[in-house]
Every structure is written in structure tokens, then in C-alpha cells.
A and B are shown apart, each in its own frame.
Chain A
Amino acid sequence: MAIFSKLFSKIRAGSSSASDWKEIEEALIASDLGAKSAAEIVEIAKKSKGDEIDSAVSATLQSWLSTSNRELAFNADRPTTVMIVGVNGTGKTTSTAKLVSHLKRENKSVLLAAADTFRAAAVEQLQTWGERLEVEVITGPANGDPASVAFDATTRAKNEAVNYLIIDTAGRLHTKSDLMDELGKIRRVVEKVLPVDEVLLVVDATTGQNGIIQAKMFMDSVAITGLILTKMDGSAKGGIALAIERETGVPIKFIGTGEGAEDFESFSAEGYLNGLFR
């Protein structure tokens, strides 16, 4: 992997100056990988000989990646249910739309549930996407019970035997225990009709170390199965996602790279790790 050719070039050339090492630490920290992980990598690099640095560091980073399946679940015999969750403003609704577009391109039938009944106009935002992507959106009354929207949608999905049901939920800070409980309730209600196959946590690439606790809290209340890492088209490196993978073992499944419905990719380890220190 060519990730480190630039990062460690000076060291490989024989430098051992403190300022060069500092530069490396700086680049590592700047990726939002976390200060502790950054220090670990520097340690590993310092222990390795010139030519081995790249492979040693690369192996370490690879070992931090989750070993879980990164494919989106699919059931041939019943609708596959996917919940989209996350804190406010990470791009849940946009990611929902992108996921729908991704599935439509694979010729799957999709039903959408607008379970963000809280934020003003969130339902309309999803409906607009639904029209653009020609997908039906199940809605409920504003400020209504999101679990009831999810329930109706799941029942519909089951009756109509669509391939995927995607449930967009309201953004919530992981510190609001009542809102986190509400998420658990949505999951339980859906499970009365169909098992929940995927719960995808949407993480903004600009997120700092708070992302780890976010992931843990969402894990506790609704058992997340994967990550969607958004806003990767900006200047942020999204190292927090690797930190989350390392801490929780939850894999990144998709990467969002823009505002268009097609700006959405399946995760590629090489591309991602390369981008961390570009």
C-alpha cells in the first residue's frame, strides 16, 4: 500500500529528527484517529527499520479494521429492514436517499418510512427525495409517534413484499436518554412484524473523538450493525470511523461523498486508509 510513502519518506531516508517525527504525529492526529492511536503508530514506526515501516504501520491499521461483514444484508424470502440512526446533522436523510438510489440501481424494490417526525420539514425532505427516486414514502402526522410510522411501514413492506424497507429516524444526541429509549422502541415495534436486519449509524467525517461514545451509546440502545461515513468529500479525513471500528468492531459499510443521490460508495479499505493521511 502506498499510504505512507509520503508520510514516512523522511524517516525512511534516514532522518531521526524530532521535528520529522512530530510532523508525522501531527498528520496522524489531524486525521481524527485519536491521540492514543496516533502515538501507538509512531511507536510502531520508531521500532521498525526503514523499509519495514510501511508494512508494519499498514498491518497495524488493517488490524484495527473490523472483521465483520461489510455487505448490506439481503433476504431473498422477505423484506430486509434497515434503520438509519445518528446524531443531529450527520446526514441521515440524505444518506437514506442515497441508499435507496443505490438499491434501485441494483433493481431492488424499496419502501421508505419517514420516522423523523420531530425536525421541522424532515418528512417533506424525505418525500422530495421519494419523488425524485420514485419510491413510496410512508409518513405519519407531524410530531406523531415515530414508532407508529415505523410499524405501519413495516406492515406495508411485509404485505407488499418489497425487497427493502428503509426507516429514516430523527437525529438525536446520544446523551438524551429519553430519545435513545424512543429509538429502542422503534426497533421493538418493527420487530413485531419483521426482524431488523441492519441498523446503520450515520457518522459525519468531521466528527471528533466524541464519535466513539456516540457509537457506543447507539450500540447500547439499538444495536447498530454498520456505519455510513458521510461528508467524505470535504477536507475532513474521517479517521474517527476507524477509531469506532477499533473500539466497537462495527464496520463502515458505505461512504458518502457529496449531495447528489449517486455520491455514495461501498467501503473500500484501501481507499479509506489511503485517504487518512493524504
Chain B
Amino acid sequence: MFESLSAKFQGAFSSLRSKGRLKSGDIDEIATEIRSALLDSDVSLSVVESFIEQLKVRTNEVLEDLNKSTNPANAVFEIVNSLLIEILGGSARRIRLAKKPPTIILLTGLQGAGKTSLAGKLAKYLKDQGNTPLLVASDLQRPNAVTQLQVVGESIGVPVFAPEPGNGVGDPVKVAKNGLTFAQDKLHNIVIVDTAGRLGIDAELMTQAKRIRDAISPDEVLYVVDAMVGQDAVRTAQAFQEGVGFDAIVLAKLDGDSRGGAALSITQVTGKPIMFAATGEKVTDFDLFYPDRMASRILGLGDIQTLAEQTKGAFDSETAAKLETKFASGEDFTLDDFLAQLEAMKKMGSMTKLLGMLPGANSGAMKKQLEQFDEGELVKTQSIVQSMTPMERHDPKVLNGSRRSRIANGSGRQVSDVNSLVERFSQAQKVMKQMRTGKGGMQLPPGMQMPPGMPPVPKVSAPQNKKKSRSGNPAKRALES
């Protein structure tokens, strides 16, 4: 998303790094580059100017000390990083639950920002945390917005309060109010009210939003904004802040490649934190917004935390435990296990997206490789394994020429593809054996390439976890031994 911005930042900093000692002029130079990078990223001009001003002041203040440090460029980099985190909201804030339930959440924003999709994602997110949300369909404007919310609600198993058909019929204020009463009766602990999109300059609709707000006194008013928005972001956000007021911002459509500079602007100008980010089409593509992670991302430092969490989420504990036992008991890692891992990896989503979170992923060489990464490779590998019989998957040694040719036909691949998969797999298997017996360490044999799916990765951590659990819990340890 912030790719281009981080590419520019990295370019600016690498030229700075080549200089040993920094002068005030060097700072001006990098400030100019950062200015144009931020403007190209749709950060509004006023915010850019104040960012550059602060950067210059802070850097010049510590210029003496900077030059004493071993790497002045890195120190400047740190200042930029901390400034970005500051603007992006300091620390992530959670939904404030009302002391007396239900907690009322009101969604507002422009048309097409993504409110209705977000209502579903938020409801799913809160439901997964053990809440009992209710969705209220107060967007009676857009044709079939009510139906859309009902379909979304059904798919995630969250009830939708929709007494009015919408399409211009019904009073959204009344619906919101009755929805609240309904939630109180049915003991829902959270109410999410979806409203119609409106323009910042539409006085009539803004008054309506205010009336909805006054009728239900929400605990959180969330302003939903499209991550791709341009310079108008600030004006519109201010109009909403004055018109209906909001407590936090939700960034939608962050899965595109927009640099999302508007996020910086809006949070800076309104002083409100960004609370959530929606990152895809699926209802689960939704997470808390982490300013520090986002700043790292802008600066090309990667997003390791998110990567780790996604990996954890994808390998369900049952599969992981099964693999772990298998590994510890000395059983061979089979193609079936490999297939399970491929499935898990596919669950994590696009490989390019995942690898893009790694540090340096947006720098020249790695970026190029990422661009060339073939997402289809996973599917191809998977199709080859799926074309094998259970026996073949268990013991690839039986794979003679005729079997290989059948598999190649079955999966629509070449025999050479099958050969190379089997070859790489048996090498991986060998490595795993060595690791288990403690020989050879974790190093791969030189020149060896892992098949896509990299089977040893989770295995490396598996035995370590085992050891940890052994020493961590005395009771368990006694049982185990």
C-alpha cells in the first residue's frame, strides 16, 4: 500500500547514508525529497508542511549529537519513524465498551467508502471475540443497501434489525432508535448502526446523521474512509467532524496499492486515532490499526508482527499439533503433510502480500523478485501432489516412470515438473531427518532449493516448543517423563 512512499524514503535515506557527516543542507535536501514523496502519496499539503517543519526542527536540534553517533543517517531515519508514528496516532486504541451494555457503534462516511462491508467485518470481528452484536440497517437511501446488510449478516451469523425496506422508504432515525430498543430486549451487547453515505457538504443529510446520533447517543462514532482518497480527505473529514462528530477512523480498502497518505492527514487534522483497517474482500480481512506497524511499512521496515499473526492464524492448532507429534515420534514427513502445509499457506492469502511484509521487501532487488513471484506455483505444486494416490504420497519411492507420467497427465504438468517436485521433496525430507537427529543443524545443503511451501519452516519451531513445554510446567514435565 505505502510501497511507493517507502521506495522513495529508502532512496532518500540511502543517499544520506553515503554521507558520513551531516550538514544542515543535507537535512534540507532529504526534507525536499520526503515532501514530494508525501505529496505523491496524497498526504494533504498542510500536513506535509508541518511534518517537514517538525522534522527539520528536531533534526537540527540534535545535529551535533547526530554527528557524534556512529550512523547519523540512521538517527535521522529514527526521527522520521517516530514522527510518523506520532501522526498516525501514537498507539492503537480499542473499542470502548459501554459500562452498561449495549455498546453502540455508529458508522458514517462518504458514499462508497465501504461502510456496509465494514459493518459486516466489524460485526464478525466482535462476534469472534465472544460478543453478541446486532446490525441495524439505517441506510435507507441506496437501493438495496438493506438487502446487502441482511445478506452479509446471514453469512456471518449476526442478526440484522431491518424493519424498513429502504430504497428511500422509512425513517433512518426511527430505525436506529428501535434497533437500540430491540438490542436491549434481546440482550445484544453491541449494536452496529449502518447509515447512508453522505457528502460532507450535504447539509440536509448531515443534519439527519446528527439526529441519528442524538437519538441513540453512540459510544463510538466511526468515520469510514477509503484509503485511496486524495486531497479532499481533510476537507470531508472536517465536515464530518463538525457535522456529526466522530471518535475514531476506520481505513477501508487498504489492500490496494494506494499509499494511504490520507490516513496521515485525517488523523493529524482531526486528532482522532485510526482504529481499524479493512484489507480485503472477505469478511475476515479486518484488523486493528497499528500505527507503529504502518510507520514501519512506510519506511520499508516490513511488517513482521502482522506476518507472524497471519501465520499463526492459518496453521490451525490441531494440524500443527499433529505435525509436531509426528515429527517428534520420528515418523517421516510425507507428501500428505506437505499438502496440508500448502493448504495452510493458501489460507494466509497471497504469497506476494505475505512476503511483502518482510523487512526490505520494497527495496529494489527483493521487490523485483516479489513481482516475479508466481502465485500459481503453489497451485501447480498442489495439483501434482493431489494427482498422486495415497500410497504414492506416503512413499514417493514407488514413483516409477509410468506413475510419474500418469501424475503429470492428471495434474496437467510436465513429467519434469513431477520429477523436480519429488527430487526437492526427498531432499527436504532428508534435511528434516538430519534436524531431528541433531545432525547437520538447520542449514540447507548448499545449492538446494526448497519446493514452494518450504516444509521445514514450521518444523524448526516445533521441537523447540516441545522443549519449552517440558521445562515450563513442572506438573506436565512429571507426567511426560
Contacts and interface: CB of A to CB of B under 8 A. Distances in A.
Q: What's the interface size class on A, roughly?
A: 35 or more
Interface stretch (A1-9, A122-130, A247-255): A122-130
Given A34-B40, A119-B148, A236 B232 contact: yes
B30 interface: no
A120 B151 contact: yes
A208 B112 contact: no
Q: What's the interface size class on B, roughly?
A: 35 or more
A208 to B, nearest CB: 3
A134 interface: no
A213 B151 CA distance: 32
Interface string A76-115: 0000000000011111010000000000000000000000
Contact of B253 (A88, A124, A209, A240): A88
A119 B117 CA distance: 9
* Max chain A C-beta neighbours (<10 A), residue from B117, B231, B258: B231
Contacts of A205: 232
B178 interface: no
B251 to A, nearest CB: 13
A260 to B, nearest CB: 11
Interface in A129-174: 129, 173-174
Contact of A35 (B40, B114, B117, B228): B40
A237 B257 contact: no
B213 interface: no
B144 A32 contact: no
A270 interface: no
Nearest to B39: A35
Contacts of B114: 88-89
Nearest to B238: A235
Given A231-B199, A235-B200, A208 B147 contact: no
Interface in B248-263: 252-253, 255-259, 261-262
Interface in A207-249: 207-211, 213-214, 231, 233-237, 239-240
Would you call the interface of chain B mostly helix, strand, loop, or mixed?
loop
Given A29-B45, A32-B230, A88-B253, A209 B151 contact: no
B253 A87 contact: yes
Contacts of B421: none
Contact of B228 (A87, A129, A236): A87
Interface string B177-210: 0000000000000000000000111000000000
Contacts of B155: 120
B229 A89 contact: no
B10 interface: no
Contacts of B148: 119-122, 124-125
Given A121-B150, A174-B257, A234-B199, 14 more contacts: A32-B42, A89-B114, A93-B143, A121-B148, A122-B148, A124-B147, A124-B148, A128-B167, A176-B255, A207-B229, A231-B199, A234-B110, A236-B231, A259-B111
29 contacts: A25-B45, A31-B231, A32-B230, A34-B40, A35-B36, A87-B228, A87-B253, A88-B253, A89-B226, A89-B252, A118-B281, A121-B147, A124-B143, A125-B145, A128-B144, A175-B255, A175-B257, A206-B229, A206-B230, A208-B42, A208-B231, A208-B233, A208-B261, A209-B40, A211-B228, A235-B201, A235-B232, A235-B235, A236-B235
Interface of B: 36, 39-42, 44-45, 110-114, 117, 141-145, 147-152, 155, 167, 199-201, 226, 228-233, 235-236, 239, 252-253, 255-259, 261-262, 281, 375
